[in-house]
Amino acid sequence: MSKGTVVLAYSGGLDTSCILVWLKEQGYDVITYLANIGQDEDFEAARKKAESLGAKKVFVEDLRAEFVEDFIWPAVQANAVYEDRYLMGTAVARPCIARRQVEIARREGAQFVSHGATGKGNDQIRFELTCYALYPEVKIIAPWRIPEFYNRFRGRSDLMEYAKEHGIPVPVTPRAPWSMDANLMHISYESGILENPKSHAPADLYLMTKNPEDSPNVPDVLEIEFKKGVPVKVTNVKEGNSRNSPLDIFSYLNEIGGKHGVGRIDIVENRFIGMKSRGIYETPGGTVLLKAHLDIETFTMDKEVRRIKQGLGIKFSELVYNGFWYSPECDFVRQCISKSQENVEGKVQLSVFKGQVYIMGRESSKSLYNEELVSMDVQGDYDPCDASGFIRINAVRLAPPSILRMAPNSFTNCLLQATHT
């Protein structure tokens, strides 16, 4: 008798194929779910493989458009960067994948969901917190935290042996000596030979970006138009072609950024679960957008609003990295960030060249920049006395104790000197 129905987040790889068969061994009816979020995958082959292994139903869902609009765009608005460098391509993708997994589980009346994330990583938390937030009654089967499973499969060789015993097709191409996670936003590389943080990344590791040394000797000049803090159009200035839909915009920025070797980083980060890990990432389109959005935001946003928003962006990044996309606090922070973006619109022109993004200029009807006011050649309505008061206040704040102990007249002379220097 069946123990119930489980919706398995399925990739078609060795781990989740073995988990599919193992769940059936345990007495569950298994529905597999594979999300297309831009990874290089033979989705039809994966479907057939799941069916051949006994999946009760197989869902293959194209989530690329909603991944960009519902998850990447809020990250762009937030300037979301974890620990100053990581643009969180994996962390942003997990709530997108899990949201659809839960929808399928509810519709199919499944009491369980399952995934192939290990017990040492962040993804188990990201998947499970999303599932609990959106389907509180669901029960989660995490094989890599179940002793009967992880004691049986101590390594890849055990999985390979199990696959042979159960007729599970195994990869015929040599496996890369590291772990990869790919989607529309990035590719991440970790584990294997990369676990030694001193080891340099092999030259053939990167799949999404060219080596900057081998990239074109002529830059691409782009104009990116923003409304409410998200891109609505990208134009290649030299070629004259444009992209307008969110998916096309982001895909094109990936193409241009990858062509010029933009978005490579090699970092050691702090996992939420409590350990440091070494990761190598390439995020070409996301890196181009971060540079452009920072520029148009500074151009159009009030100084003090932006100061608060910077702190919210850091908080948002921590919440998303740790798996709390659907928490009340993250929802609140997202709404605050969205409010801050109401006037963030305009066009940014930039050059993409040899691994770098160079801002060239910007324009906006919502600009807070006053060319006449800031001009060194035109006085306009500006009263220089306004600056003297500001300088006096800060001179007192910054003055060393020896100055503050001076006679009042001497201190006043110092301030007057400061205002005229």
pLDDT digits (tens, 9 = 90+) for 339-384: 999 999 999 999 999 999 999 999 999 999 988 888 888 666 767 7
Annotate 254-283 with DSSP letters as a single string: HHHHHHTT--EEEEEEE-TTS-EEEEEEE-
Range of the domain at 101: 5-63+86-175
Q: DSSP 3-state assignment of 52?
A: helix
Q: Could you say which of 11, 15, 17, 277 is catalytic? A: 15
Q: Which of 325, 348, 363 is the last residue of a domain?
A: 363
Same domain, 336 and 357: yes
- Where residue 125 sits, what CATH number does that domain have? 3.40.50.620
Same domain, 24 and 147: yes
Question: Quick check: is 15 catalytic?
Answer: yes
How many angstroms separate the CA atoms of 206 and 44, rounded? Answer: 26
Question: Is 406 part of a structural domain of the chain?
Answer: no
- Asked whether the CA dihedral 236, 237, 240, 245 is positive or negative, the reply is positive
Same domain, 191 and 131: no
Question: Is 351 part of a structural domain of the chain?
Answer: yes
Average of pLDDT values for 178-189?
A: 96
Contact 300, 226 (CB under 8 A): no
Q: DSSP 3-state assignment of 179?
A: strand
Q: Could you say which of 123, 181, 220, 295 is catalytic? A: 123
Question: Is 342 part of a structural domain of the chain?
Answer: yes
Question: Is 399 part of a structural domain of the chain?
Answer: no
Same domain, 129 and 220: no
Question: Is 201 part of a structural domain of the chain?
Answer: yes
Question: Is 421 part of a structural domain of the chain?
Answer: no
Q: Give the chain's domain count.
A: 2
Is 60 exceeded by the pLDDT of residue 421? no
Task: Report the side by side order of strands in the sheet with 187-190.
Answer: 179-182, 187-190, 276-282, 264-270
Q: What is the pTM of this model?
A: 0.92
Q: Which of 44-48, 171-175, 368-372 has the lowest mean pLDDT?
A: 171-175
Same domain, 114 and 250: no
Same domain, 171 and 187: no
Question: Quick check: is 107 catalytic?
Answer: no
Question: Quick check: is 388 catalytic?
Answer: no
Q: Which of 118-122, 385-389, 401-405 has the lowest mean pLDDT?
A: 401-405
pLDDT tens-digit profile of 205-258? 999 999 999 999 999 999 999 999 999 999 999 999 999 999 999 999 999 999
Residue with tokens 């676990």, as numbered in its chain: 195
Q: Could you say which of 47, 64, 94, 100 is catalytic? A: 94
Question: Quick check: is 70 catalytic?
Answer: no
Same domain, 170 and 51: yes
- Where residue 340 sits, what CATH number does that domain have? 3.90.1260.10
Q: Which of 116, 147, 175 is the last residue of a domain?
A: 175
